Amino acid sequence: MATGSLSPQPGQRPKLFAQLDRFWLRVTEGLKLSQLWKQFRADARASYRLYQHDFDAQSPRESRRHNFWHTLQELSWAILEKLTPARRVLLLLGVLLLVLPGSGVSFEKAGQIQLVQFDLRFWGGFLLFVLLLLEIADRVVMKRDLEIARDIQKWLLPATPPQIPGLAIAFATRAANTVAGDFYDVFPRPSADGAAGSFLIAAADVAGKSIPAALLMATFQASLKTLSATACSLPELVGGMNRYACSNSQEGLRFTTAFLAEYKPGSRSLTYINAGHNAPVLRHASGGVERLSNGGLPLGIRADAPYESGDVVLQPGDWLVIFTDGVVEALNERNEEYGEQRLLNVLQGWAASSPEELLQRLVTDVDGFAGATPQHDDITCVLVKAS
């Protein structure tokens, strides 16, 4: 019997391995196994938090019956309610067919009894595969829309800072999801007396994440640019922003924390208002640290809220660090927060560097602290150095 045809011909195995390598690289996008495992853990934790949120809302801890079956039932409902009714039926039917034993039908033909077997598990798996395809199709459409929204959001935010006499600026933002609710900008505006030459420095954080926060961020940006074009004082500007935010805040549920400052290069003076935002850090050239906290409530809570402005003078060597809570509230695997003290340590250690270098160092330090823990909030930082 000839057996040579059963052995791979010379060159077949290397070609097959090369094809498998290309297939694996296409599937994994070149990621290593450790990176794939890290990504899976991040996805699993994010999905668990999503289902756990609905589970806790429907079955508060104090009212739960402490038994396994009740917990399993409530968690199953939290998962099922993420699907449409038709897909819920498809999922339940598929799971049911998977657990049922196979069955058969017997009939007599030409005096012989024949038995036809039905593998219900095959059809259960087929229904679950159809459900998976439907969910993937939805995800692809949603991902495409989110990518378009991300591109629009990037267009709304400045790519590079303007040239301001006596200041060097660097900024960056990173969304927890595809789109973010954080905002930053630096642009020129007329002063209250109509004179040119002042610049507005803004950073804001809309309550929430993803699409709802991103939509409100866009309205915040539009109203800020519109009101800033008028010759008004900073308190008048913030008051107008607050009244507009109150008309779109769903009775205070969608508020916005913001830090707005107006810098005048001629006098090196900075007038600011902190509307419920994380207090920016002003590090003086001498090494002393000051928090810029004058202001009032977040925008969108109370239409008649008063706002108190503060004034500082930026001397050569001074640093102004503006950040959102995603920086200091970044968590590691032990559920510890990054905290302001670590931020201050980076600032003190790299005070002689440029804003771009300090920004890179700060982002690296936050990422090193968080490790494999998925980012749970948008991160934005604006660094200003006086020269």
Q: CA separation (Å) from 284 to 360, 380, 385?
A: 21, 22, 10
List per-residue pLDDT tens for the chain, 387 residues long. Answer: 444 444 555 555 677 788 888 888 888 888 788 878 877 877 777 676 666 666 666 555 555 555 667 667 777 777 787 888 888 888 888 888 888 766 555 555 555 655 556 677 888 888 989 988 888 888 888 788 778 877 877 888 888 999 999 999 999 999 887 777 899 999 998 765 555 579 999 999 988 777 878 888 888 888 899 998 888 899 999 999 999 888 876 666 789 999 999 999 989 999 999 999 999 999 999 999 999 999 999 999 998 999 999 999 999 999 999 999 999 999 888 889 999 999 999 999 999 999 999 999 999 999 999 987 878 888 999 999 999
Distance (Å, whole) CA 259 – CA 274: 5
Token pair for residue 109?
A: 């033909």
Rama region for 30: left / alpha / beta (φ>0; ψ in -120 to 50; rest):
left
Distance (Å, whole) CA 191 – CA 228: 9
Strands 295-296, 289-291: pairing is unpaired
Residue showing tokens 């008004």 = 232
Distance (Å, whole) CA 289 – CA 340: 12
Asked whether 238 and 273 are in contact (CB, 8 A), the reply is yes
Token pair for residue 263?
A: 């810098």
Token pair for residue 87?
A: 């897909």
Token pair for residue 378?
A: 């948008």
Q: Express the helix, strand and coil content of the chain in percent, nearest 5 each.
A: 45, 20, 30
For the domain made up of 161-386, the CATH class stated in words is: alpha beta
Task: Read off the pLDDT of residues 326-364 as tens digits, 9 standing for 90 and up.
Answer: 999 998 888 899 999 999 999 999 999 999 999 999 999
Asked whether 164 and 385 are in contact (CB, 8 A), the reply is no
Angle between helices 120-156 and 85-99 (to 10 degrees): 140
Query: What's the order of all strands across the beta sheet hosting 319-323?
Result: 167-174, 379-386, 319-323, 281-283, 289-291
State whether the Cα torsion 250-59-208-346 is positive or negative: positive
Distance (Å, whole) CA 185 – CA 162: 10
Distance (Å, whole) CA 162 – CA 169: 8
Token pair for residue 220?
A: 């915040």
Three-class secondary structure of residue 294 per DSSP: coil
Strands 269-275, 295-296: pairing is parallel
Distance (Å, whole) CA 119 – CA 97: 9
Q: What is the DSSP letter of 375?
A: P
The pTM assigned to this predicted structure is: 0.72
Token pair for residue 323?
A: 């950040």
Burial of 99 (0-12, 13-18, 19+ CB in 10 A): exposed
Token pair for residue 251?
A: 């009775």
Identify the bridge partners of residue 206 per DSSP, sorted by sequence position.
Answer: 256
Q: What is the DSSP letter of 157?
A: S
Distance (Å, whole) CA 220 – CA 205: 10
Alpha-carbon dihedral of residues 85, 91, 95, 98, nearest 10 degrees? 130
Residue showing tokens 């929430």 = 208
Q: CA separation (Å) from 16 to 21, 22, 25, 28, 170?
A: 9, 10, 14, 18, 50
